[in-house]
Amino acid sequence: MNDQTSVGQGYDDLRVALRDGVARLIAERARRRRNARMLGLTAVALVCVSGLAFAAATYVGSPAPKAVQDDIAAVDAGMPAGLRLDPDVHNARSVAGTGASTLWVADLADGGRCLELTTTYYPNVRAPGCSTGTALDLSPIAATLPNDETSDPSAPVVIAGHVEPASAAALSLELSDGRRIPVPFGTQRFYVIDLTGADAADVRAHGVALVAANRAGAEVARVTVPSDWDAGAADVEAATKSDITTRSDSSDFTKVLGIDGVLADPKPASLALVYDANTTVNIALAADGSFHYDVPQNRQGDFMTPRHLIGRDAQGRVVVDRQVAAVAFWRGEDR
């Protein structure tokens, strides 16, 4: 939740029921992160729905169907008026596509955008993500890769996004053996590409680099997708040493209903939540370093100001100091 590599990770935890234990929490978070790995996008919300993807009968400039509009609009669910992104969903449209996959865009008033990818390869995975105008300058190449937790190492790989530099005239995928696969642009340097067979297997095994070049062939931007982008939940859980997440209700993301996690490296001897100079609450730690804390109703609205989780070793020295805050706070920080 507090990992600022991607603010969107905070939104991944919003509807998780954690009362059956922290181990299931981490596995669930890992599954959602894997369902739509977003690189270079902020304010990410993942929505999994039933039904068919909308790629087959679309063309560049097609108006987005209502289901896509609703997905994009949902990024503002539970947000106070001052922190809503207000994407222009009524004018959402397709900007790149293949026979199986379509990338949709809805504009933001500040020059940013919300993107959503739909694909017939993974019809139950939908991944809307938004970037403010300021954030776009930090992401020369944005990429999203949906995945449905398939165990097939050669299952199709879909990559979609946008190349920001206006000087970019071409985009290609650079595979592990150095071979390059051209990626056609849709409108305004948006792109979608579907990989199958050996090419898909190579990306799943080794990752891939996206390379943008100008008309002279000189590289103007590059982003690397790591080889673990589709790692299984068990693998991610096993590698997790420390993890803290907040529970929220989608009706009001200014509130925090609870805090859960595991602190294994370093593992403190004691843990406390510091609300302010006058109020500190001790939180019980299990033998494996996991914890579960239900925020009292009268304090659930206090997290628009970050609070601190403080872990101490047996000698009383601070070994963990992590900020916890409401989802709406983190969105405000990104504005």
Segment 84-139, tens digit of pLDDT: 999 999 999 999 999 899 999 999 998 899 999 999 999 888 767 888 887 777 77
Can you give the pLDDT at residue 235? 54
Can you give the pLDDT at residue 32? 39
Segment 15-47, tens digit of pLDDT: 333 333 433 443 344 333 334 445 543 333 333
> Using an 8 Å Cβ cutoff, are 225 and 211 in contact?
no
> Using an 8 Å Cβ cutoff, are 39 and 143 in contact?
yes
Residue 316 DSSP label = S
Segment 197-234, tens digit of pLDDT: 999 999 999 999 999 999 999 999 999 988 777 765 44
Whether the predicted model's global pTM rises above the 0.75 cut: no
Quick one: 52 exposed, middle or buried, by C-beta within 10 A (0-12, 13-18, 19+)? exposed
Determine the Cα–Cα distance for residues 53 and 210; give it in Å rounded to an integer. Answer: 25
Q: How many CB atoms lie within 10 A of CB 92?
A: 27
310-320 core/surface letters (b: 16 or more CB in 10 A; e: else) = bbbeeeeeeeb
Taking each continuous run of H as one helix and of E as one strand, the counts in the chain are 7, 22
Q: Is residue 11 pLDDT above 90, yes or no?
A: no
Can you give the pLDDT at residue 120? 93
Determine the Cα–Cα distance for residues 296 and 283; give it in Å rounded to an integer. Answer: 13
> Using an 8 Å Cβ cutoff, are 120 and 100 in contact?
yes
Residue 40 DSSP label = S
Can you give the pLDDT at residue 203? 94
Amino acid at residue number 82: G
Can you give the pLDDT at residue 181? 97
Peptide bond between residue 266 and the one before it cis (omega within 30 degrees of 0): yes
Contacts of 216 (CB under 8 A, 6+ apart): none
Segment 233-276, tens digit of pLDDT: 445 555 556 788 899 887 899 999 999 999 988 899 999 999 99
Of the candidates 190, 2, 169, which has an alpha carbon nearest to the alpha carbon of residue 102?
190
Task: Specify the DSSP element, H or E, that contains 39.
Answer: strand 36-39
Segment 52-72, tens digit of pLDDT: 334 434 578 899 999 999 999
